[in-house]
């Protein structure tokens, strides 16, 4: 009986291990199959999504000047007044008059400001009084000399007395010259209290006010040097840095178009006025000055600008007025109509267009597109409105 019970227990143990092993294998197989199925679904989804998107290139609709079809180079720069000055006082004193503000126009010689001048005007009055006294002495000394000359000729006075009269007259003449010089010096001191415009121009900045102290060299912390900054607006030019590697393509009097960053829709005709004969070692550029051939009141100093250098011989008759244009390769014909494919998110939409003149690679768009629109370049035949696209990097 004990042997039988031991044999039965052994059998029971063997049956229990045999049942657990098949269950573990089944779970592992099911897990692997699920992972494979999920991976296949993801792969098919990604492949389907990307294979359905058509790879295209795009271009942007923008305002372009027709003359830019002759453009050979573009450079950036700033509008700078070639005649500009910080107007300061030659004397030290407190401002008692300031007659102009920013934007006011002045003529050469106009008094822009005046500093206190009571002391120098008093000195001028004293110098004039001394001169008047010397002139009166000359009249008296002249009469005395005439009498002495008459008397010495008749032997009524000695030669020594005549010489004394003549010496007095000469001293008076020398005193007159000295007093006259003192008057002129005092007049200069008075004039130095008047700050005048050295040339015709426009007030750009006002750096001081009535009541402030100005000095030629700003000796004190509270004193000012420049009262106003003046610029001749007719001398405005664009100073642009041109790379050393491109400077051989630029010549004096070469035609240009100037576009201000503030008014990108406007173009101004210009020419290369000067190529400064030195290079900037740090930037490897050469300063080029471009003169405006036409300009309006919107052009002011320190504005950012882009200069489009045009090929020599570009006719002035080419209009510089910007036109809405697009690359001609973006236009295609479908069902007898000229259209462009507008990018709308990850798809395209067909837009009928009306076209104008062609210039270079560009063509004018009269209707159908707006500035900043992105359109497909060289649209393939299979491209239709609503087609999913991917933009080529």
- CATH topology for the 117-192 domain: Helix Hairpins (1.10.287)
**For the chain, what are the domain ranges?**
2-52, 56-65+321-391, 69-83+233-310, 85-114+199-231, 117-192
**CB proximity list for 47: less than 8 A, separation 6 or greater:** none
pTM above 0.75, yes or no: no
Q: Assign 3-state DSSP to the chain and report helix, strand, coil percentages, each to 5.
A: 35, 35, 30
**Class of the 56-65+321-391 domain?**
mainly beta
Write the burial class of residue 16 (CB in 10 Å: 0-12 exposed, 13-18 middle, 19+ buried). exposed
CA-based nearest residue to 114, from 229, 186, 187, 214: 214
CATH topology classification for 69-83+233-310:
Elongation Factor Tu (Ef-tu); domain 3 (2.40.30)
Residue 247: Cβ-neighbour burial (10 angstroms; 0-12, 13-18, 19+) = middle
Residue 17 pLDDT? 47
Tens digit of pLDDT per residue, the chain (393 long)? 444 444 454 444 444 444 445 555 666 676 677 777 676 655 555 554 444 678 888 999 988 777 666 788 999 999 999 999 999 888 889 999 999 999 999 999 999 999 999 999 999 999 999 999 999 999 999 999 999 998 988 888 899 999 999 999 999 999 999 999 999 999 999 999 999 999 999 999 999 999 999 888 755 455 678 899 999 999 999 999 999 999 999 999 999 999 999 987 788 999 999 999 999 999 999 999 999 999 999 999 999 999 999 888 766 655 557 788 898 899 999 888 899 999 988 888 999 999 988 877 888 898 999 998 999 998 988 888 888 888 887
What pLDDT was estimated at residue 205?
93
CA separation, residue 200 to residues 65, 70, 241, 277 (Å): 34, 38, 29, 29
**Residue 354 contacts residue 337 (beta carbons within 8 Å):** no
The answer to whether the beta carbons of residues 379 and 338 sit under 8 Å apart is: no
Fold that domain 85-114+199-231 belongs to in CATH: OB fold (Dihydrolipoamide Acetyltransferase, E2P) (2.40.50)
**Residue 276 and residue 78: Cα distance in Å, rounded?**
15
């Amino acid at each position: 009986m004990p042997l039988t019970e031991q044999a039965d227990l052994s059998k029971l143990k063997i049956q229990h291990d045999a049942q657990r092993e098949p269950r573990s294998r089944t779970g592992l197989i099911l897990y692997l199959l699920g992972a494979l199925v999920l991976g296949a679904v993801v792969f098919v989804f990604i492949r389907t999504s990307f294979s359905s998107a058509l790879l295209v290139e795009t271009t942007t609709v923008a305002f372009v000047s027709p003359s830019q079809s002759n453009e050979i180079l573009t450079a950036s720069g700033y509008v700078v007044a070639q005649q500009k000055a910080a107007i300061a006082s030659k004397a030290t004193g407190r401002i008692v008059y300031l007659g102009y503000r920013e934007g006011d126009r002045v003529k050469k010689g106009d008094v822009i400001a005046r500093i206190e001048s009571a002391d120098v005007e008093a000195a001028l009055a004293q110098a004039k009084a001394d001169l008047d006294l010397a002139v009166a002495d000359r009249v008296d000394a002249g009469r005395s000399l005439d009498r002495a000359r008459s008397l010495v000729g008749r032997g009524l006075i000695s030669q020594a007395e005549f010489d004394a009269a003549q010496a007095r007259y000469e001293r008076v003449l020398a005193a007159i010259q000295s007093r006259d010089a003192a008057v002129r010096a005092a007049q200069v001191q008075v004039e130095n209290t008047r700050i005048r415009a050295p040339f015709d121009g426009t007030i750009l900045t006002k750096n001081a006010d009535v009541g402030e102290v100005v000095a030629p060299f700003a000796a004190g912390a509270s004193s000012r040097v420049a009262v106003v900054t003046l610029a001749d607006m007719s001398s405005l030019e664009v100073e642009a840095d041109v790379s050393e590697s491109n400077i051989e393509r630029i010549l004096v009097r070469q035609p240009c178009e100037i576009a201000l960053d503030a008014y990108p829709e406007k173009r101004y005709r210009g020419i290369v006025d000067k190529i400064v004969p030195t290079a900037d070692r740090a930037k490897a550029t050469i300063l080029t000055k471009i003169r405006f051939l036409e300009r309006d009141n919107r052009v002011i100093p320190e504005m950012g600008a882009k200069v489009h250098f045009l090929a020599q011989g570009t006719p002035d008759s080419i209009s510089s007025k910007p036109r809405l244009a697009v690359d001609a390769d973006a236009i295609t014909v479908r069902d007898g109509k000229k259209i462009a494919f507008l990018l709308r998110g990850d798809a395209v939409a067909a837009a009928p267009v009306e076209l104008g003149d062609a210039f270079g690679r560009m063509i004018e768009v009269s209707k159908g597109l707006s500035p900043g629109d992105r359109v497909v370049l060289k649209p393939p035949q299979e491209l239709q409105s609503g087609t999913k696209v991917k933009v080529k990097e």
